[in-house]
Amino acid sequence: MPSDLLPRFERPPVIETVLGVQFSPLQRFGNAHLGAFWKRLGPEWPNICDAPPLPPQFEKFEGERWIEPGLRFTLKQEVNVRIQIRNEGGDRMVQVQNGRFHYNWLGEGGCQYPRYNTVRPEFDNLLEQFRSFVSEEGLGSITEDQWEVTYVNHIPKGSIWNTIGEWAEVFRPVAALPLRAGSARLMNCGGEWSYDIEPKLGRLHVRLQRGRATVTEGPELMIVTLTARGPLGNPESGARTLADGLDLGREAIVKAFYDLTTEKAHRHWGESS
């Protein structure tokens, strides 16, 4: 769907987006290659840290022909890691492991969301650099098997809600919760929902949490995380290309967030026609 047909807010509560692709692990790819790829990115990406690797994930559908992750490859006996590379400005991050490539926009510092049409070409460029690196190092070629898009939204206390009871004025599913159960008063809530992106194109996962910007500091938050992911490489289900999948995931997330939130919230975020 064209961007101009999707819901749009002047002040969206999104504080992080992630565009990613999962691929078949490369037999000859070692941890040393992660550092070599970081060096290739140049001085604009000075900050690096290690993180635990993400496990393989697959959105499966009836009749699909995926092979179980434990049977589809054998890695060398070494401790595998994921590296997180941040740019000098601290608002972009590249995450790489053998089997995953993710690109994050980070807005925790208060910077304005740059919109998908800006972030997507940046992801495409960096992924192409990674493909070239893999090829030039003689590691094989990237075989993509799943696309993934995530949007994280922070809605702080005092902005449009002040008590848990007012969450129903922001997030529609909460309206079904009673504020009292017998003599007990609702103190906290959260939940997870999953939706199929029909017809068998992927799934959308929605998670509602209560939290803070950091563990001990920062304002109390309503955290709404939406992740869309789906298969690649199977003509019977999923997007035909990675670009199709990312566009589909972004569309599913934007439309779902709009449908799950209230008109009051839309006005607060500056809905534009």
Mean pLDDT of 63-91: 66
Q: Is 146 helix (H, G, I), strand (E, B) or coil?
A: strand
Query: What DSSP letter does each residue of 226-250 carry, written as one string?
Result: EEEEEE-S-TTSS-SSHHHHHHHHH
Q: What is the DSSP letter of 170?
A: T
What is the per-residue pLDDT for 66?
42
Q: Is the pLDDT of residue 49 over 90?
A: yes
DSSP state of 99: T
Radius of gyration of the chain (CA): 20
pLDDT of 215 over the 70 cut: no
Closest CA relative to residue 272, chosen from 8, 40, 72: 8
Which structural domain range is residue 197 located in? 3-272
Cα dihedral 246, 150, 98, 64, rounded to 10, equals -60
177 vs 146, higher pLDDT: 146
Copy the structure tokens of residue 125: 């460029």
Q: pTM value? A: 0.90
Q: What is the sign of the dihedral through the CA atoms of 68, 234, 130 and 54? A: negative
pLDDT beyond 80 at 155: yes
- pLDDT band at residue 3 under the 50/70/90 scheme: low
Residue 234 pLDDT greater than 90, yes or no = no
Within a 10 A sphere around the Cβ of 143, how many other Cβ atoms?
A: 11
Domain count, the chain: 1
> What average pLDDT does the chain have?
89
